[in-house]
Amino acid sequence: MDLRLQPRTAAGKRFVELADTHAAAAAVRSAEHDRVGTFPFEAFEAMKQSGFMTATVPEQFGGLGLNSTHDLTAGLCRLAGGDGSIAIAANMHLVFPLIMRWLQRFSKEGGDADMAEQLDGLLAVLGGGTIAMGNNTEPGTDLAHPLLEATKADGGWTLNGRKIFGTLSPIADLFLVSCRTARDDGTYASGNAFVFRGSEGQEIRDNWDALGMRASGSNDVVYKDCFVPESLFFTQGDDWGTDGPLTQVIITAGNIGLLGAFCGIAEAAREQVVEMVKTRTKAPSDRPIAERHGIQHLVAEIDVDLATIRALLERTSTVIDEVVRDGPTTEATLDLLHEVNHQCQCAKLVANRKAIDSVARALTLSGGFGYMTASPLGRLYRDVRAGPLMQPYSPNEAHEFIGRISLGLDPELS
Amino acid sequence: MDLRLQPRTAAGKRFVELADTHAAAAAVRSAEHDRVGTFPFEAFEAMKQSGFMTATVPEQFGGLGLNSTHDLTAGLCRLAGGDGSIAIAANMHLVFPLIMRWLQRFSKEGGDADMAEQLDGLLAVLGGGTIAMGNNTEPGTDLAHPLLEATKADGGWTLNGRKIFGTLSPIADLFLVSCRTARDDGTYASGNAFVFRGSEGQEIRDNWDALGMRASGSNDVVYKDCFVPESLFFTQGDDWGTDGPLTQVIITAGNIGLLGAFCGIAEAAREQVVEMVKTRTKAPSDRPIAERHGIQHLVAEIDVDLATIRALLERTSTVIDEVVRDGPTTEATLDLLHEVNHQCQCAKLVANRKAIDSVARALTLSGGFGYMTASPLGRLYRDVRAGPLMQPYSPNEAHEFIGRISLGLDPELS
Amino acid sequence: MDLRLQPRTAAGKRFVELADTHAAAAAVRSAEHDRVGTFPFEAFEAMKQSGFMTATVPEQFGGLGLNSTHDLTAGLCRLAGGDGSIAIAANMHLVFPLIMRWLQRFSKEGGDADMAEQLDGLLAVLGGGTIAMGNNTEPGTDLAHPLLEATKADGGWTLNGRKIFGTLSPIADLFLVSCRTARDDGTYASGNAFVFRGSEGQEIRDNWDALGMRASGSNDVVYKDCFVPESLFFTQGDDWGTDGPLTQVIITAGNIGLLGAFCGIAEAAREQVVEMVKTRTKAPSDRPIAERHGIQHLVAEIDVDLATIRALLERTSTVIDEVVRDGPTTEATLDLLHEVNHQCQCAKLVANRKAIDSVARALTLSGGFGYMTASPLGRLYRDVRAGPLMQPYSPNEAHEFIGRISLGLDPELS
Amino acid sequence: MDLRLQPRTAAGKRFVELADTHAAAAAVRSAEHDRVGTFPFEAFEAMKQSGFMTATVPEQFGGLGLNSTHDLTAGLCRLAGGDGSIAIAANMHLVFPLIMRWLQRFSKEGGDADMAEQLDGLLAVLGGGTIAMGNNTEPGTDLAHPLLEATKADGGWTLNGRKIFGTLSPIADLFLVSCRTARDDGTYASGNAFVFRGSEGQEIRDNWDALGMRASGSNDVVYKDCFVPESLFFTQGDDWGTDGPLTQVIITAGNIGLLGAFCGIAEAAREQVVEMVKTRTKAPSDRPIAERHGIQHLVAEIDVDLATIRALLERTSTVIDEVVRDGPTTEATLDLLHEVNHQCQCAKLVANRKAIDSVARALTLSGGFGYMTASPLGRLYRDVRAGPLMQPYSPNEAHEFIGRISLGLDPELS
């Protein structure tokens, strides 16, 4: 009985099969990429070739038509079993068309035919193989308050600022860059710019060097007088930091696949260590240590945690699909989407914590062997630790968001 | 957005509606029954009248046709919001027809037409309003090893022994009594006897007096030379303590609804305290304490735990339904059912723990007020504590069962 | 090897011996007092007779001269092993002379001879057998902001307001009542009034009825136009809510003995259940369940927690003694006392949580038997739950206080 | 108020001062040694020069005369604040003379003058600057059952086998190698051999490459036909795996200093992150993030854990000192020493877990910055994870040992 997340749609089944294949291939080089800190270009090349990277693009634009965060999560879980870095980098792109599709649905039903058409154009581009990423994180601020500034220029805008944690940047073709623009009254409006790789003034550094997720290419991207034509700049004139339905959709969509990745890392650690304790023996009895009660107890704790993670991912992704993909768009109010995000943040808090706990227990179960560099467990232990750092929200902030929604208060953090 | 478990079938919807109604009615007297330790006869009378108590009997025998542990769990969750004792007592009976139906399905597909027919007869009896219970627990042993002895008598068997924790005994009409019979070689075989209320030699005590679940009527039932005719005695000649698919089905079915009850208690505590902190103010600011960060943090922790419990119940009950109700009976091997039980025990361990934690946090959030007898929180705190004590398995044993299954070992405990 | 807290002083040794004796005597009636909710007058009579209740009064005034929070805590730990309610009620009084002595020391070294002399008078009164209590808690506010008002009257003050959780009130002779007095500018000053039992306008209700600590007599005390002569009213003109060294001393002194009581409850639960699992057997093996690994695991978890509680109590009480009793009074700044309280609140948070966890595990280990009213474990489970509710701080607020001190911020809560 | 462990003896004060100095010096190169995996020869050279490495040798043999596990732990805590690898490697040697002294005390009082004299000789050697280590761990067995075999040879013994986790091996002069010798009846006796560095047949590999503690030089040491003269071989003819007082003394002494090291790592992480959150600001408010409640909550959790670790280390080291250094040797029975070890294992379980939790929270508090290789937090996170892997006991086995002692059973693990 396979209690991992199982795909529910035909596209999902295909996606998960591909994920299994790519995971197996990636696993061969994951130790090397981790050690040296290189980006797995070859893995992404294969994922582009197989159609995996266009999975979430509608079929008419050349994709697999995957349109379910549940199935997306199921697949990323498998992929992360091979290499966690690759899974979080792939998610960065895969969730992009999904959000476009949902946005398009809301546009159509809201009567904004132009927007819906524009999004068709973008989906066609993505279906053609373009790799996209959201280039959002900056030091000294949160996601809602980008400091990178766009200033009006002739025929467009000029960007200045620095983004960090630019996962997937080594191969991304299209960067969606969040920014702010100053108004005359000293306040700011929010905006987003599409920047194509190679644009003058965009410098994609090669400086990602971290404790884990070392193959994710999460480099700094610096924008210095980087020009963006008007047609690639979007602002709805919202105040800098304004919360809205779209923000909530992006947060939930962006997080759920990541949770799948961390689940997959925990599952991989569990598999390795269960195999190990079944075969390793210990003097004086020289019986397999799996027969020892302390070992059984710890394995049970891992499996209790995995059951918890999986249940939360299954239910949360189903909720997202039901509300955002299937629900009446007229009912998708900010309040409702806050509740979806509330569920998502509960899942994130637990899944990240339990995934870390599971890998930690696997390390304990391994005796000292998992602590050696030669064992893959150390990498899993370092990779899985990235989960709680991902925004929004880290455990620094999650309780405040969750609690405020629970209590019917405005979730803006203090 | 209502994130409580939602019924999926028509019968389930009706069942949950009835549960809501009965919960509201029961809530009025729950404090009184708790204080005095009386059994809520009036609540059960109402539940019999409304058809709630025959919900899991097939429609052709007069029931609602509810045939989903998921929907059963959803309803018991609601009922427990009114009174936890009533919910666990109702589960004792409601799960009975469900198990009969599944057993019947296996009989039919296994070609045992006689058994299938017998079960039809039993379901008709239950459809007619008979209240049944499993009378299993005894001191000094586990469920697999009943000490109550059945000895061959003229035309039947004589029972001697004592059962404890006989939940629902004040109104049960039919007791399914687990027992053992001595063989000539000094070993024992397992057996089960149906005993109708009022049979000579059966003494249903009125001695249930516990920390919580005080309205559940979990009395001792003593059997002293209690005669059971051959037609009401069942044995397959299995060795005393033999594990088998039916045992595993009973364990999972018997537990999942109980978990719903404990979930419902936690949800009730959460509702009360959230309402309280939204309205209570505190000097010197005299602002609602819901605005305080410590309060928000604790409420968030409750909601994180509730999200966890619900996700585990949803997934686990779905797995039970898929395997036991819908799966190919030929594939329902002992190994597969061990895996289902593994999932169920993971859910039990977490759900019980988290339900207790949630009520405990609600108590903390209430300041000292929830500690006063006048508040219902104290009852919820005492009731919810029963969860981990319920067999199988308590936390004394659960890790060993889970771990051994995880490791592919025989789950018989040391 | 007895790893419970061991007294370090001669007075402490005597105190602990007496505590052991009184605990044994109290244990006989603890179930009865708990059931009926009566105050154990006989136990307090015996404790007065033996000198236990004057233990913290200096020897020259007739006491044992106990002057160590460490030894006080050690003794209350033992007493609570017999009856937790009695221990927390006794602490209410026992800590009183201790604080007077420390205050006197600060007065003397600060050159306030009058105050030092006054305190001598008070200590003499306490040495004569007067039972004192702090009557502080009120609904809708925190300890620093009493709502009970003192208004100027001829020759003194008139008190109006209601105190709750008045532990020990059934036998207290002297109530130290925190209050506020209105100033002309609409602000308030803090004050304290000594009220002797039987003063007109003081009504000591008999309304304590709670989940646990049912024998602690924590009644409401209502003050209605209760006159207090000028000589028994103290105010230093501090603003209502002002924090200061004395407040911090009172908080730490008041809490540490309570922690001892909760430790003692946990130790009692542990003793009972260890005895039980060593002797109880279970079929089919009929071996003592102590030989089962799940049982060993849970017992280990209890002992790990008890080791943690004891270590924290030992270190924290030592710190209090070193700073408040032995340290240079000139160095006992508010900042330093905040740090002492920081340590105390860390200990409180962990000790309360771990004491609750330990009793909960004892309940689990007992199988269902500890859940029966006939078992003392249920009482221990209800009593120990009072710990986190006690102010300051409950877990609603503790993290904010601790975190702010850790970060060098003003600890005033938001 | 400095709540870190404070030395109690004059030698301890000197030791802690030296530890502070060496920690500061080591911190400069800790990142480099961690990255490359090199052994910090220069740090140990300095520690030899300063007298730090001979601290536990009696003064008459040229040491500082440090004879307190409490003060040893206090010092290792400080040293680990600079470099955890150095602290655990130093402990390996520092605990050696301490155990010799205790053993000598038992010998004298037990009347074994020869042994006492021999130990004097050994202490003199150590006082002269010889660096010693216990070379015990092997794969596939526990510490009590060495597989390395000693076979009788002309004038001595020949060793064959492989030791792992040989911390400090790059500079150790003297290896105490645990082994077994075959008896004629097919059973084994335990033995210990002293092997001087450079002995023929001893190969000290340079293969330590692990997740953390990368500068500890925990290499394999292979013994191939390594001859040991009779005078350097010790066996008391005990059966292989026999438990005894000396074993228990070695376990507690060997563990307590290590716990100090892990405490020091957690303290270092705490210092860094508290400094960071006090100074880092975040848009849009641009106020220090220390003012955020989520940050305060997490910092509080760290400080609660540090308070717990310190209290347990203080109490446990005091117990060891009182029993092993100060207690009547006639009373130091195996039972008593099991109880001391029970306390030690409780402390180990909690301290390791809480130290890891604290560093993990520091990482969370740092936002993503602590995850970057440029930050020292990643190293602390990897180093601190070694704690639970250290024997005996890891969490795989600790509960069984603790629980069995708690229940009065023989602690031999199943």
CB B4 within 8 A of CB B64: no
Give residue D257's pLDDT. Answer: 97
Bigger pLDDT: A80 vs D110: A80
Give residue A237's pLDDT. Answer: 86
Residue A403: which of B296, B319, B340 has the nearest Cβ? B296
- Comparing C-alpha atoms, which of A368, A358, A37, A386 is closest to residue D211? A368
Residue A393 CB-half CA count within 13 A: 24
**With an 8 Å Cβ cutoff, is A207 touching chain D?**
no
> How far does D316 lie from chain C, in Å, by closest CA?
8
**With an 8 Å Cβ cutoff, is A205 touching chain C?**
no
Chain B residues lying within 8 Å of A307, measured CB to CB = 312, 315, 343, 346-347, 350
> How far does D363 lie from chain C, in Å, by closest CA?
17
Give residue B354's pLDDT. Answer: 98
In order of A217, D253, D325, D335, the CA distances from D105 in angstroms are 61, 15, 8, 19
> How far does D293 lie from chain B, in Å, by closest CA?
7
Give residue B65's pLDDT. Answer: 98
Are A356 and D356 inside 8 Å of each other by CB? Answer: no
Chain D residues lying within 8 Å of A141, measured CB to CB = 282-284
CB C66 within 8 A of CB C11: yes
* B191 backbone dihedrals φ, ψ, rounded to 5°: -155, 170
Task: Render pLDDT for A288-300 as a digit per residue (tens, 0 to 9).
Answer: 999 999 999 999 9
B-facing residues of A in 329-358 (CB < 8 A) are 336, 339-340, 342-343, 346-347, 349-350
Helix or strand holding residue A195 (H, E):
strand A188-196
Q: Which of D287, D389, D393, D404 to mutate to test the interface with A (most CBs of A within 10 A)?
A: D389
**With an 8 Å Cβ cutoff, is A408 touching chain B?**
yes
Partner chains of A (3+ C-beta pairs under 8 Å): B, C, D
C-facing residues of A in 69-128 (CB < 8 A) are none
Give residue B148's pLDDT. Answer: 98
Give residue C59's pLDDT. Answer: 98
Give residue B100's pLDDT. Answer: 95
- Comparing C-alpha atoms, which of C293, D396, C298, D405 is closest to residue A294? D396
> How far does A293 lie from chain C, in Å, by closest CA?
7
Are D382 and A413 inside 8 Å of each other by CB? Answer: no
Query: Which residues of chain C carry a pLDDT beneath 50?
Result: none
**With an 8 Å Cβ cutoff, is D410 touching chain B?**
no
Give residue D291's pLDDT. Answer: 96
Give the nearest chain D residue to C302 (CA atoms): D403
Residue A141: which of D282, D372, D386 has the nearest Cβ? D282
Give residue C25's pLDDT. Answer: 98
d(CA B340, CA B352): 18
Give residue C301's pLDDT. Answer: 98
Are B282 and C385 inside 8 Å of each other by CB? Answer: no
3-state DSSP assignment of residue D254:
helix
pLDDT band at residue A360 using 50, 70 and 90 as cut-offs: very high
Give the nearest chain A residue to C298 (CA atoms): A297
CB D390 within 8 A of CB D136: no
Q: Which of C293, C396, C400 to mutate to test the interface with A (most CBs of A within 10 A)?
A: C293
Residue A307: which of B346, B400, B404 has the nearest Cβ? B346
**With an 8 Å Cβ cutoff, is B400 touching chain A?**
yes
d(CA B355, CA A136): 38
Task: Render pLDDT for D362-413 as a digit per residue (tens, 0 to 9).
Answer: 999 999 999 999 999 999 999 999 999 999 999 999 999 999 999 999 998 7
d(CA D390, CA D382): 14
What does the block give as tokens for C390? 């006690």
**With an 8 Å Cβ cutoff, is D293 touching chain B?**
yes
CB D321 within 8 A of CB D71: no
d(CA B269, CA B263): 10
Chain C residues lying within 8 Å of B212, measured CB to CB = 371
- The number of residues in chain D equals 414
Give residue B179's pLDDT. Answer: 98
For residues A371-380, give the mean pLDDT: 98
**Residue D236: pLDDT over 90:** no
Amino acid at C46: A
Give residue C237's pLDDT. Answer: 86
Strands A174-182 and A188-196: antiparallel
Q: Which of C337, C402, C404 to mutate to test the interface with D (most CBs of D within 10 A)?
A: C402
- Comparing C-alpha atoms, which of A289, A291, A273 is closest to residue A281? A289
Task: Render pLDDT for A35-52 as a digit per residue (tens, 0 to 9).
Answer: 999 999 999 999 999 999
Chain A residues lying within 8 Å of B352, measured CB to CB = none
d(CA B331, CA B320): 14
> How far does C330 lie from chain D, in Å, by closest CA?
14
* C20 backbone dihedrals φ, ψ, rounded to 5°: -60, -45
For residues A337-342, give the mean pLDDT: 98
Percentage of chain B exceeding pLDDT 90: 97
Give residue C380's pLDDT. Answer: 98
Count of C-beta atoms within a 10 Å radius of residue B143: 18
ipTM > 0.95 (yes/no): yes
**With an 8 Å Cβ cutoff, is C394 touching chain B?**
yes
> How far does C30 lie from chain B, in Å, by closest CA?
16
Are B308 and A303 inside 8 Å of each other by CB? Answer: no
Chain C residues lying within 8 Å of B414, measured CB to CB = 292-293
DSSP per-residue letters across C273-297: HHHHHHH-EETTTTEEGGGSHHHHH
Chain B residues lying within 8 Å of D297, measured CB to CB = 293, 297
**Residue B230: pLDDT over 90:** yes
To which residue do tokens 């001893």 refer?
D202
**Residue B413: pLDDT over 80:** no
Estimate the crossing angle of helix B10-36 against helix B69-82, to 10 degrees: 30
Are C414 and B281 inside 8 Å of each other by CB? Answer: no
Burial zone of B328 (CB within 10 Å; 0-12 exposed, 13-18 middle, 19+ buried): exposed
Task: Render pLDDT for D238-274 as a digit per residue (tens, 0 to 9).
Answer: 999 999 999 999 999 999 999 999 999 999 999 999 9
Give residue A340's pLDDT. Answer: 98
Strands D132-135 and D174-182: parallel
> What's the whole-number average pLDDT of chain B?
97
**With an 8 Å Cβ cutoff, is A209 touching chain D?**
yes
- CA angle at residue B300 from B296 to B301, to 5 degrees? 120
> How far does C223 lie from chain D, in Å, by closest CA?
38
pLDDT band at residue A182 using 50, 70 and 90 as cut-offs: very high
Chain D residues lying within 8 Å of C409, measured CB to CB = 290-291, 296
d(CA B267, CA B278): 17
**Residue D29: pLDDT over 90:** yes
Give residue D333's pLDDT. Answer: 95
CB neighbour list of residue A220: distance below 8 Å, 6 or more residues apart: A162, A163, A164, A166, A205, A207
Q: Is 0.95 topped by the overall pTM? A: yes
Are A300 and B400 inside 8 Å of each other by CB? Answer: yes
Strands A132-135 and A174-182: parallel
Are B346 and A409 inside 8 Å of each other by CB? Answer: no
Residue B389: which of C368, C373, C394 has the nearest Cβ? C368
In order of A4, A267, B347, the CA distances from A310 in angstroms are 7, 10, 11
CB D40 within 8 A of CB D213: no
Give residue D50's pLDDT. Answer: 98
Give the nearest chain C residue to B292 (CA atoms): C414
**With an 8 Å Cβ cutoff, is A200 touching chain C?**
no
> How far does B130 lie from chain D, in Å, by closest CA?
48
**With an 8 Å Cβ cutoff, is A293 touching chain C?**
yes
Give residue B414's pLDDT. Answer: 72
